[in-house]
Structure 1
């Protein structure tokens, strides 16, 4: 999937062999991803926390719009190569839109019951992982990447739910957003580090 210009061939041709950005380690990428996504998530959850938009469907659409519009830029620091911010922002917007559509299909289709949020996340994250993997030109490792992303996302979301059950009100909702963002962002940081392994290898172990 070369349309986003993030495969090793595209990045090296554009960068002239000199790569910028990225994290020095998987752990560093996870920490940066967690903090960046948590900040975006708190902003997104504030729509729910303070009931800024009436109507469930409109509220979820607005939350998704914040994630789609801002997260790619926030996480672009983890992407190697010149022009990463614009290209990755477009890729992430596409991927998160697919994830959000799938999640909403399960949520509204199951009327919020039968663990609709879990099923929506499971299928949506699989689609997001596959898109990131293909866009960065990584062959294989889908199951391991997906397993880490789904696990960390679910841990963050579940912890957030527990915090909300304890604190309640607007503060509880914001805490849910922060916890969800930490888990989701850590998982994305892990995925982004590993999908760029072929690029780092070709660039001399960067």
Structure 2
């Protein structure tokens, strides 16, 4: 029933891949900037009051909160906001769990690279569970891994170039632009008949 509603909605509104990528990129740029700004100005205090893992849990929750709100208009069908929060709640939690596990187990750049592979894969699987489809799963995984890695690793050098605070915020913006494009791509591919 929901799939039929989405198909009808698609035929009326004709969302485009370009629209989804643009909206995903611009909105997650905002989320990345906000979250990385809290890292830039509050990391020490968060580590002191919440511990390292508590701080990472706080940042994960912040991404889930912002992602659910900012991406709800890209969710097709009824109950967009609730479904968007379900999507980002599960998807981003799985992403963060995999990324943090890889980063703290392997450490350094190899840990970041492993997290950039495993995190988006688990996020894609979480998205598929919430959306109730396996449509275009391999394309979604590839899109998320590539977009995440581009945003993360293109932004990472800014930390050394611009200094800890400004560099961290700019890294968050670049991370958000890249990963957000992948998120928009994933949502389009998972919800539209064009992706089949």
Q: TM-score scaled by structure 2?
A: 0.86
Residue 127 of structure 1 aligns with which residue?
122
| Alignment check: 8 A CA contact 1:22 1:80 kept | no
Residue 17 of structure 2, aligned match among 18, 26, 48:
26
Spell out, residue by residue over 1:142-187, the C-alpha distance to the aligned partner (whole angstroms, 9 max, x if none): 2222111111111111111122221112111000000001111000
| Alignment check: 8 A CA contact 1:125 1:150 kept | yes
* Alpha-carbon separation, structure 1, partners of 2:138 and 2:108: 27
Residue 53 of structure 1 aligns with which residue?
46
Superposition deviation, residue 133 in structure 1: 2.8
CA RMSD, Structure 1 to Structure 2 (Å): 2.5
Structure 1 gaps of 5+ residues are 1-8, 202-206
Residue 101 of structure 2 aligns with which residue?
105
Residue 175 of structure 2, aligned match among 174, 177, 180:
180
Structure (1/2) with the larger helix percentage: 2
Number of residue pairs matched? Answer: 190
**SS of corresponding position for 1:53:** helix
Q: How does 1:1-206 map to 2 (within 5 A)?
A: 9-10=1-2, 12=4, 17=8, 24-51=15-42, 52-54=45-47, 55-110=51-106, 112-113=107-108, 115-198=110-193
Superposition deviation, residue 22 in structure 1: 7.6
Superposition deviation, residue 77 in structure 1: 0.9
* Alpha-carbon separation, structure 1, partners of 2:11 and 2:78: 7
* Alpha-carbon separation, structure 1, partners of 2:93 and 2:104: 16
Structure 2 gaps of 5+ residues are none
* Alpha-carbon separation, structure 2, partners of 1:37 and 1:23: 22
Spell out, residue by residue over 1:118-161, the C-alpha distance to the aligned partner (whole angstroms, 9 max, x if none): 21221121111122234334345322221111111111111111
In structure 2, relative to structure 1, the CA distance for the partners of 1:53 and 1:189 (3 Å cut) is same
* Alpha-carbon separation, structure 1, partners of 2:161 and 2:12: 39
* Alpha-carbon separation, structure 1, partners of 2:14 and 2:138: 22
Q: TM-score scaled by structure 1?
A: 0.82
Superposition deviation, residue 29 in structure 1: 0.5
* Alpha-carbon separation, structure 2, partners of 1:152 and 1:146: 10
